[in-house]
Structure 1
Amino acid sequence: MNYSFRIIPNDDLHHVIPLVYELNEGKVSKDLLQSRFNEMKDQNYECAGIFDTDELIGVTGLWYCTRHYVGKAVELDHVYIKLEYRSKGLGKQFINWINEYVKKKGCNSMELNTYVQNFPSHKFYYNEGYEIWGYHFFKNI
């Protein structure tokens, strides 16, 4: 297999919609996802992908900000790898690639949210050195 990791140009963000749609189990329409990604690309956002040759098989968003408690940080968002590519070490390679990429951009830390019922992701992130620092609260308004 010929896997590579790279930043997806903003003009190509429409390619991530099918994967993010799968991640959200169809709870957010593809049209709404497209609209939101059109807004996100003009914010402090980048999108990184895993490619099998030229096929996009994994994705994560990278949100940049400065946090009072750690300085310049990146938050990983909508981390997803197609089911048939899991358990091949790609997640570990992807996280390592992202770590090196964001360090070059001056980031001091990486953080993320994961759904409470997604136990395999919890184990993965623990194994990658992440710690739980708090709870993520949410309220629709």
Structure 2
Amino acid sequence: MLEIKQLHSIKEWKEAFPVIKQLRTHLDEESYLELVKEAMEKENYKMAALFDDETIIAVTGYMPMTTLYNGKFVWVCDLVTDEKHRSKGHGKTLLSYIENWGIKYGFKIISLSSGLQRKDAHRFYMDKMEYDQVSYVFLKKL
């Protein structure tokens, strides 16, 4: 049975790591746990996972934000389905969960960025989830 649960504890974050690692390949478990803890404490970051019985098959991280560009909105930081469970609608299930969460708490915009190389993800966001491509994201390492 599929069920979405919020992840609050270190134990739950550790259970989600093998799936998150498929998206965030640069992270080891220790740095991942430190970042999740800090983001939750300082940025109101939230994690949710889609479970098939007791197994995590997809994970998302998101947070409410306010900027001059978007006003009050929800930023999707992470969205990944375990490679063994892809193309079964699980990403849509989690993204719809975030959209419903946003509506419940009065947000009017959901926003995210996606790596230039992730062409399948772009098709998913635009064709299946009806997101518009409105900008490029730029990054400079200091």
- Give the structure-1-normalised TM-score: 0.89
**Distance across 1 between alignment mates of 2:107 and 2:57:** 26
Instruction: Give the structure 1 partner of residue 117 of structure 2.
Output: 117
- Alpha-carbon shift at residue 10 of structure 1 (Å): 4.4
Q: Is the 8 A contact 1:46 1:61 kept in 2?
A: yes
* Total equivalences in the alignment: 139
Structure 1 segments of 4+ aligned residues over 3 angstroms from their partners: none
Instruction: Give the structure 2 partner of residue 51 of structure 1.
Output: 51
Q: Is the 8 A contact 2:19 2:80 kept in 1?
A: yes
Q: Is the 8 A contact 1:45 1:61 kept in 2?
A: yes
Instruction: Give the structure 2 partner of residue 79 of structure 1.
Output: 79
Unaligned stretches of 5+ residues in structure 2:
none
Instruction: Give the structure 2 partner of residue 15 of structure 1.
Output: 15
The residue type paired with residue 135 of structure 1 is: Y
Q: Is the 8 A contact 2:62 2:78 kept in 1?
A: no
- Alpha-carbon shift at residue 97 of structure 1 (Å): 2.0
**Distance across 1 between alignment mates of 2:22 and 2:93:** 22
Instruction: Give the structure 1 partner of residue 4 of structure 2.
Output: 5
Unaligned stretches of 5+ residues in structure 1:
none
**Distance across 2 between alignment mates of 1:105 and 1:83:** 31
Q: Is the 8 A contact 1:61 1:78 kept in 2?
A: yes
**Distance across 2 between alignment mates of 1:38 and 1:44:** 10
Instruction: Give the structure 1 partner of residue 40 of structure 2.
Output: 41
- Alpha-carbon shift at residue 6 of structure 1 (Å): 2.4
